[in-house]
Structure 1
Amino acid sequence: MKNEQGYALGTTYNIKYEVDNDSINLKQDIEDVFYLVNRSMSTYLPTSDISKVNRGDTTVVVDEYFKEVYLKAKEVWRNSNGRFDPTVGALVNAWGFGPEKAVNHMDSTKVDSILEFTGFDKIFLSEDDHIVKSNPKVYLDFNALAKGYTIDLIGRMFDSKGVKNYLIELGGEILSKGTNTQRVKEWVVAIDSPEQEDEKRVLISKVKLHNKAMATSGNYRKFRVDKESGDMYVHTIDPISGYPQKSNVLSVSVIANTCMEADAYATALMVMPLDKAKALLKTQTQLEAYIISADKDGDLNEYRTSGFESLLLK
């Protein structure tokens, strides 16, 4: 079993895979996938397709990778009634939850002005693979599903090379295939507890994965306590209203057939109230999910679909 580790897409990766001959090394093939994704969708590279699109370059013909991610993002956006939105970055920054400088004294006028260029319905993919915006200020960021997609691409590359057993982990997102032949059993992965200590990783569950992907979205250290009610909340930005919304959902883990789908829906479920998250899961029967929320006393409550429950390591 080979083990490749490194740094890519702003995070770490750990990839285990089994090949027939020890002389076979797929490290460069893995790096090639990272290069292709960055060239297409990295908002940190000024030369990437997405950076050009965000600067208003209408001549860009997006590649097959960009197109596949765009189409999945649009699907999840529709299924989540707009809660999952890759154009929400400007609002996140404005309210002080993003990497850019916050806007002082946010009010309805400022929110409305940003909403003018927020919304995945303001951006379209033309038949000749150009991105068309209804407002030139629309800013696109596929960060919420590009990591999962990258994992899927590495999995496809492994499949094309005849690799039958592998576990791909990138920034906590995971794709499994076959079995862990070192232990002669299925792959087992851990889920972090939302109650993390500074120096020590705290686990809450372990899950058996077989030919499945899992992604986890969490606000482990970003929750706040309402001084009046004592309730624990995390703040997420509602891309529809433009305002921060309170949620007591601390962590969502999603199991799906592809890591891109798991990644996107984990993000979508994080920004939805718990009742709406449960309702969405009833319509998306291909997904299994584990949601951790906190009550006003700070106690954790768990919701698991029956399929997720069956995969937990007892």
Structure 2
Amino acid sequence: MENKQNGSSLKAVVAVLAVLLVGSLVYIFKLSSDTEKVQTVLTKEVSEKDSVLKDLEELKATYDAAIAENTSMSDELIQERDKVVGLMEEVKKSKGDLSAFKTKMNLLQNKMKALMAENEGLKNQNSVLKTQRDSTAVVLDESKKYNQTLVGQNDELAKVVEKGAKLTVLNIQSSAYKVRSSGKEIATDKARRTNMLKISFTIAGNEIAQSGDKTYYVQVIDSKNNVLGEKKIISFEGSTLTYSFTSTVKYENKTVQVSENLPGKDFEKGTYFINIFDKGEVVSKSSFTLK
């Protein structure tokens, strides 16, 4: 009877132990399952954080590259880049749900796309403007060279015109006369008989010369280097001229014959020189001899 009781007690103990074992196994299984779930969640959170940080790093790199191009949008790009850097610091410090950070990141990415498009448009405009500016600079440079060439040509042409517009004085003729009291003029080549010189010259026609009154200064010098006639003195650009008489002609671009008389007495034998001046410039000269 005692043995039967002992057997029943042992069975009861075994049953309790079996229940406890099963309970322990169930608890261990649940604990293991919960641990795996926690690890899975933690691993997922770490992976998401790394992914968000990677995306933010790429976003920052995009802004850095755009800022380096130094466009007119640089200030705005820097502000947005700083927002990205700030969000990166928040993500690094975060623990748990990242959905709020993802939302902010999406907003920053959309803002970045809009700014990049605008920045690209500005770059294209600047490229076009630079091309236009370079083309304009080339055109201006060519125009400047062309204008300089024209100025040089105009200067040369002006000189040619100025030279061509000058009047030509030629065919100086000189004759000596004895003028009687009656007014009769008798040609002579003797100095002692001469009391008047007749000097004539021709002004050639010139279509491009300026018309109007032309004054010439005639200088007659005898064999002893004396200036005959009025012996008046006039200055031209710092130099002086002693002349015998002036001859003023109404010039109308056609050939003009000019003749002037120079009265005098005690004419010397020898060679006489005639110089015709247009202001201070000698335009014609000749000589003759009295015996």
User: Over alpha carbons, which structure has the higher Rg?
Assistant: 2
Task: Sort the TM-score into its range (normalised by shorter chain).
Answer: under 0.3
Q: Structure 1 length normalisation: TM-score?
A: 0.18
Q: Structure 2 length normalisation: TM-score?
A: 0.19
* Higher helix proportion (structure 1 or 2): 2
Report 1 or 2 for greater relative contact order, CA contacts < 8 Å, sequence distance ≥ 6: 1
